[in-house]
C-alpha cells in the first residue's frame, strides 16, 4: 500500500504549489498587491523561474500563493511544509487529549485551599 506521503504534492514543488493554490484560490489566482483576479494574472515560466511564480498585469508585481500565508517568510520548499503539516495533523488525530476541566482561579480569594484538586500544568507532565 502506498503511503499518503507518496502523493505528488509532497515531493514535487510545482505540484505542491498547485495543491495550495487550489485551496487558497478556488476561483483562480488573485493578486495580493492590488486584488486583481485571474483575468489579469499570468504564470511566469522558465528554467530559472521559481515554482508558483505569477505576475499581475494590473499592478505589474510578481507574487506566489505563499504571500500572506504562514509560508511567506520561509525558505523551506512548500512540499516540505505540506509534509510537516500533514504529519502534525495525523498526530493530533491520533492523540486526542480529554478536555481540560475548567475551574475558577481563586488564588487570591480562597487562601484556605492550599492545593487545587486539579493538577497544575507543570505537575501534569
Contacts with Zn ion by CB under 5 A lie at 31, 33-34, 36, 56, 58-59
Pick between residue 56 and residue 65 the one whose CB is nearest to Zn ion.
56
Q: Are 21 and 15 in contact (CB under 8 A)?
A: no
- 105 sits in the region (left: phi over 0; alpha: psi -120 to 50; else beta) called beta
For residue 48, the minimal CB distance to Zn ion (Å) is 23
Pick between residue 24 and residue 34 the one whose CB is nearest to Zn ion.
34
Close Cβ partners of 82 (under 8 Å, ≥ 6 residues apart): 9, 10, 16, 19, 20
Pick between residue 31 and residue 65 the one whose CB is nearest to Zn ion.
31
For residue 18, the minimal CB distance to Zn ion (Å) is 21
Amino acid at each position: 500500500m502506498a503511503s499518503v506521503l507518496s502523493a505528488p504534492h509532497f515531493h514535487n514543488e510545482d505540484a505542491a504549489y498547485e495543491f495550495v493554490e487550489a485551496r487558497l484560490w478556488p476561483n483562480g489566482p488573485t493578486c495580493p498587491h492590488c486584488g486583481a483576479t485571474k483575468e489579469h494574472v499570468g504564470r511566469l515560466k522558465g528554467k530559472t523561474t521559481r515554482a508558483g511564480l505569477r505576475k499581475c498585469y494590473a499592478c505589474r508585481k510578481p507574487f506566489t500563493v505563499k504571500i500572506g500565508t504562514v509560508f511567506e517568510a520561509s525558505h523551506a520548499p512548500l512540499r516540505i511544509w505540506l509534509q510537516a503539516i500533514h504529519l502534525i495533523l495525523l498526530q493530533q488525530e491520533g492523540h486526542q487529549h480529554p478536555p481540560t476541566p475548567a475551574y475558577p482561579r481563586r488564588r487570591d480569594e480562597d487562601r484556605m485551599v492550599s492545593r487545587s484538586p486539579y493538577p497544575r500544568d507543570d505537575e501534569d507532565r
